[in-house]
Structure 1
């Protein structure tokens, strides 16, 4: 049995990284390991569902208050002052070091490229550190291209989502091999109790955002000119992007387009006549695509790098060139014309998808590495690790002591020179 400390990015289930690695933590606990999960926030934050699920599965969750949890130049903006953020970072590093020492942790695992505290704490306490990377170094995550040397220096192992991201990072990380994993979402299939319907719908599952690119689907739907066809978006939304979509719908006088908002289990809302479409401009993997396959729903998806990574595993569904509205509309038209055949093939593919998407398969490399002895490679930070220690009260006292000592030295120098 090993004691493993995971550093989580948000302490919520509104992103694929958290969902997938929660399932890895759950699997490791069931396998006999002790898992401690450190996430940003506090017990007073609205994170009840996250906390409850960790508690139910035996994951020891602790929230660490912070002013800024991600890198300074990572997405999310800046709060407080530069000094207060630096103090908060040091406080978090020290808290993680405390958990490492008190629990004799065998390994620290950081679940996103966007955080560095776990890497620093692990190096300071001379324990191995695994870094799991879900993000392509593009657009809002391009900032971490400048941090590749740091990530290599402070990682025992680096893992990236399989497919296009893994291939890209293996070219960028020249000093260390990048291993691969596939994100995992625990899906309760609903295909056996799916609702019967008498007409087709196009359904897109996922938060309504510019990155998810749902406006492209609305434009393709417009080209179909089908008054009998409903377009449904299931998921919460970013207000600004929702307004862009709603304005387009209103200006074009489009009908039968509906936004449901967030649903606890969106797949229970789908019917046996539905088609799923995922037009994202960028994804790391595409968990909703996998969920659609496991539920026997015919799928059309854009060919962004993340979708292609998942498609390499399953090789099922209809791809179109992201940004090509005409091609998307044409794919939908053909699928609707041949729906009975497409639906039959999607249902028949369920057992194949289930076999390929077992947690012990998608996380095989990480799980095997954790089972074996983990060799720690000494890191040079150990020579100055005490500089990372920080306590606001002690720091103020030390500063006062320093000034007093300096004054005494000046007085002595003045009187005894």
Structure 2
């Protein structure tokens, strides 16, 4: 039985990268693979709700307490000082190498460009390593352009989300064959509740990146008293305040924030349309979920949405920032709702055929089954330097001193 070790980005299931590859892991378990998932935690617990979810599906989940999980210059707060973070990185690499050795792991897969520990651990243990890239090298993720040589050196295979991201990664690695995948969300088409009025619904965290203020400004321009605007998802406090302040300043009515919901699609009705105004996405899983539920949808033309749209070619797109264009599209969708709803309902079966896990992950699944042998890397010559744990080395020195002291005492006793 082949054993695969995944290194995950966040240790939470509130983002597309984690959710989609969790579904891939479940698929691989059903195919007979042994799967181990390694994820970060800043707690001292060895189990939490996240790890229990994996265990429930036969996936071993190992949580590593860490000072810093992503690259130093990746987005996110830097805890501790540089020395402490370096020690934490080494400890994580050491733990992953031990897991590889103890479980006779055949393949390591890093599920984000933002982490490097799995790549190094795989090289130190002479195992092949796959890198899955979900992030466009732009804005907060532009930092990884400086790390392309490392990614190239420490990856047996590189995969990127298909569409515009895959095209971009191909440009960045002209001498590599880049393979692709589409993030997969496991969702069953559900019967929508009966709605009392037409609503515009947007699902996703209220944040600058999701760009909900643009939709609020569009709703203002629509000026429709017969329509409600509903946001489903948690929020970044500062951006939520920005949205609420605008609503108050413009005296807008019929706008609601429902907060985070375990299954947001339970909140949708048969009179809703979905609008997703994100300024940036990697793919656009909520767009796919809307299609699978037969809900008329409008989405922005950011690169991730465009990649998803290329797969399905269904729904309507508008140019990010073009409020006039979005207003017209929403107006038409509301006024011709019956036809839009019928077309969306009729498309469900086709969407399901396009969006099968075995299809969207076909290149990864095939590469796992036919993986090439490990390409020797010289980093193995400094394994001790990269995995040495300072605390353990101090303990070892203390143990040695104690043993020597005991030996001296025994020697003196014997002389007597």
TM-score (norm 2): 0.93
2:73 partner SS: coil
1:207 aligns to 2:200 (yes or no): no
Structure 2 match to 1:60: 60
Distance in 2 between residues matched to 1:162 and 1:36, nearest whole Å: 26
Q: What is the CA-CA distance between 1:73 and the residue it aligns to?
A: 0.3
How far, CA to CA, are the matches of 1:176 and 1:66 in structure 2? Answer: 33
Structure 2 counterpart of 1:121? 121
Is 2:312–2:351's contact at 8 Å kept on the other side of the alignment?
yes
Contact 1:11 1:47 in 2 (8 A): no
Superposition map of 1:1-400 within 5 A: 1-41=1-41, 48-190=48-190, 193-396=191-394
Deviation at 1:230, TM superposition (A): 0.3
Greater mean deviation of Cα atoms: 367-376 or 20-29: 367-376
Does structure 1 conserve the Cα–Cα contact (< 8 Å) formed by 2:43 and 2:65? no
DSSP 3-state at the match of 1:231? strand
- Cα deviation digits, residues 48-67 of structure 1 (max 9, x gap): 43222211110100100100
**Cα separation, partners in 2 of 1:366 and 1:242, compared to 1, 3 Å:** same
Shift of 1:380: 1.6
1:334-391, Cα deviation, whole Å (9 max, x unpaired): 1111110000000000000000000000000000111124311111212222211212
CA distance in 2, matches of 1:9, 1:69: 8
CA distance in 1, matches of 2:352, 2:192: 18
SS in 2 for 1:62: strand
Q: Considering only aligned residues, what root-mean-square deviation do their CA atoms show, in Å? A: 1.6
- Total equivalences in the alignment: 399
Q: Distance in 2 between matches of 1:354 and 1:105?
A: 34
CA gap of 1:305–1:98, structure 2 versus 1, over 3 A, is: same
Deviation at 1:46, TM superposition (A): 11
Unaligned runs of 5+ in 1: 402-417
Q: Tell me: CA distance 1:47–1:290, structure 2 relative to 1, closer, same or farther (3 Å).
A: farther
SS at match of 1:365: helix
Aligned-partner Cα distance in 2 for 1:123–1:137:
24
TM-score by length of 1: 0.93
- For residues 45 and 200 of structure 2, the distance between their equivalents in structure 1, rounded to whole angstroms, comes to 36
Structure 2 residue ranges without an equivalent (≥5): 400-416
Cα 1:45–1:249 change in 2 (3 A) is: farther
1:394 Cα deviation after fit: 4.2
Give yes or no for contact 1:206–1:234 (8 Å, CA) kept in 2. yes
Aligned partner of residue 109 in structure 1, secondary structure: strand
Shift of 1:228: 1.3
